[in-house]
Amino acid sequence: MSEQVTREIELDAPIGAVWRAIVAGSWLAEEVQLELRPGGEARFQDRVGQKRGWVEEARRPAARTGARHTARLCFWWEAEGEPATRVELALSGPEDGPTLLRVRETRPLDALDLIATPLPGAGQGSYGPILLAA
């Protein structure tokens, strides 16, 4: 059984502006530092405390067929003494808005299995860890 929370919201803003608010603004926390690459460091600081983690995927807004744009950010984060969770933010919409934002946060790391999976762009025969639901 998977533990997760999923929410969707339509924002009256272009997808590029929503992306910037998420990765460089104060939408996730008062201070956000993200290395937008797989394995990049992630830090989130606000009045309540700090969360740290790593970036799993960062795909900036890009046009798809039919002038619909998409973007995706996935990362793991945890506060000290708490289990890690996976956060997935998926954006879609026309270049000039509105933007549909779907946020999904899933269960703790200790409920998942670690397996070897091919790493994209790392050359043939290169494998790395990926986390999948048990």
What CATH number corresponds to the domain at position 95?
3.30.530.20
| Residue at 102 is within a domain | yes
Euclidean distance between CA atoms 60 and 55, whole angstroms: 13
Write the pLDDT tens digit of every residue in 53-68: 999 999 999 866 567 8
Write the pLDDT tens digit of every residue in 64-112: 656 789 999 999 999 988 888 999 999 999 888 899 999 999 976 555 5
| Residue at 121 is within a domain | no
**Beta strand pairing call for 68-79 and 127-133:** unpaired
The residue type of 130 is I
| Residue at 125 is within a domain | no
Cα three-residue angle 79-82-88, rounded to 5 degrees: 65
| Residue at 49 is within a domain | yes
Which range is most confident: 35-44, 59-68, 77-86, 118-127?
Answer: 35-44
Specify the DSSP element, H or E, that contains 94.
strand 85-94
Q: How many domains does the chain have?
A: 1
| Residue at 89 is within a domain | yes
Range of the domain at 27: 4-109
Q: Is the dihedral of CA 10, 56, 71, 79 positive or negative?
A: positive
Return the exposure string of 110-134: e unless at least 16 CB atoms fall within 10 Å of the residue's CB, then b: eebeeeeeeeeeeeeeeeeeebeee
Write down the mean pLDDT value for the chain.
82
Q: What is the pTM of this model?
A: 0.76
